[in-house]
Amino acid sequence: MVRSFTDQLGRQVQINYPPQRIISLVPSQTELLFDLGLQANIVGITKFCNHPASLVKTIAKAGGTKQLNFDTIQNLKPDLIIGNKEENERTQIEALMHSYPVWMSDIATLTGALQMITAVGLITGTQSSADGIVGRILTGFDQFEPLNKPMTVVYLIWQKPFMVAGRGTFIDDMLKRCGFVNAVKQDRYPELSAEDIQNSQADIVLLSSEPYPFNKKHIAQFQALLPDSKVLLVDGEMFSWYGSRLLHAASYFKQLINDIAF
């Protein structure tokens, strides 16, 4: 049965419902599909899809999020492809749209993420499971207490050049929910100089584990730029993954705030 669904770009997508052969082009949405119980229907993922670790190894890889393998995708014969506006490359997605049903997400807030989870449940016939995941995420954030006083923050995602999470990003929304004030005024993911970082006078510098794998050796580098700031390594998945990983985000943020307070 063919049904029409609206994706987060406002496009109408005609899908053979329920889809039997799904390709996911985004790691966080891949994890969501598994958590919705769709393991038997996932035929392709990207090489960056790493959760759940024990299961993704056995799934065909359709390239990277921005370098898709069209031959592999054709051989997998998908009846649904799920992607994301920010994480996938536009011309490649548009090419796929000529041949396959492609449902796209576009997420910059927790609200948008929850809407995506609900929508993916609807298009895959797993609405009950999706509703359960959304309910548990909402409960976690409803019970979460942010910082009791605002603190400015710079959130680093890349090293050379320095790139940070700016306004209008999902990371920015997560920072706000923790009680942080983003010291970066630009939108999206601007490049900053060392002087820019110094001039931010941020209370906190957060070094993300992805996409650049910051580690302990980088703490001293940023501590030298902002000697009066607290520099911390953080799990980038908790700040940037907008699928079922959000089930763990509120408890992670609680521990992070405790670490900052002491």
Give residue 260's pLDDT. Answer: 87
**pLDDT at residue 261 above 80?**
no
On whether both 168 and 257 belong to a single domain, the answer is: yes
Q: How does pLDDT run across 128-157, given as a tens digit for each residue?
A: 999 999 999 999 999 999 998 889 999 999
**Which pTM does this prediction carry?**
0.95
**pLDDT at residue 64 above 80?**
yes
Q: Has residue 209 been placed in a domain?
A: yes
**pLDDT at residue 73 above 90?**
yes
On whether both 181 and 95 belong to a single domain, the answer is: no
3-state secondary structure the chain: CEEEEECCCCCEEEEECCCCCEEECCHHHHHHHHHCCCHHHEEEECCCCCCCHHHHCCCEECECCCCECHHHHHHHCCCEEEEECCCCCHHHHHHHHCCCCEEEECCCCHHHHHHHHHHHHHHHCCHHHHHHHHHHHHHHHHCCCCCCCCEEEEEEEECCCEEECCECCHHHHHHHHHCEEECCCCECCCEECHHHHHHHCCCEEEEECCCCCCCHHHHHHHHHHCCCCEEEEECHHHHHCCCHHHHCHHHHHHHHHHHHHC
Q: Has residue 210 been placed in a domain?
A: yes
**Average pLDDT of the residues in 172-197:** 96
Q: How confident is the model at residue 77 (pLDDT cuts 50, 70, 90)?
A: very high
On whether both 177 and 233 belong to a single domain, the answer is: yes
Reported residue count of the chain is: 262
Residue 253 structural domain: 151-261
On whether both 158 and 95 belong to a single domain, the answer is: no
Q: How many domains does the chain have?
A: 2
Q: Has residue 138 been placed in a domain?
A: no
Give residue 262's pLDDT. Answer: 62
Distance separating alpha carbons of residues 17 and 124, to the nearest angstrom: 7
Q: Has residue 183 been placed in a domain?
A: yes
Give residue 259's pLDDT. Answer: 86
On whether both 73 and 170 belong to a single domain, the answer is: no
Q: Has residue 97 been placed in a domain?
A: yes
**Domain CATH for 60:** 3.40.50.1980
258 or 238, which is more confident? 238
On whether both 97 and 160 belong to a single domain, the answer is: no
Give residue 196's pLDDT. Answer: 95
- The owner of tokens 């329920």 is 18
CA–chain centroid gap for 97, Å, is 22
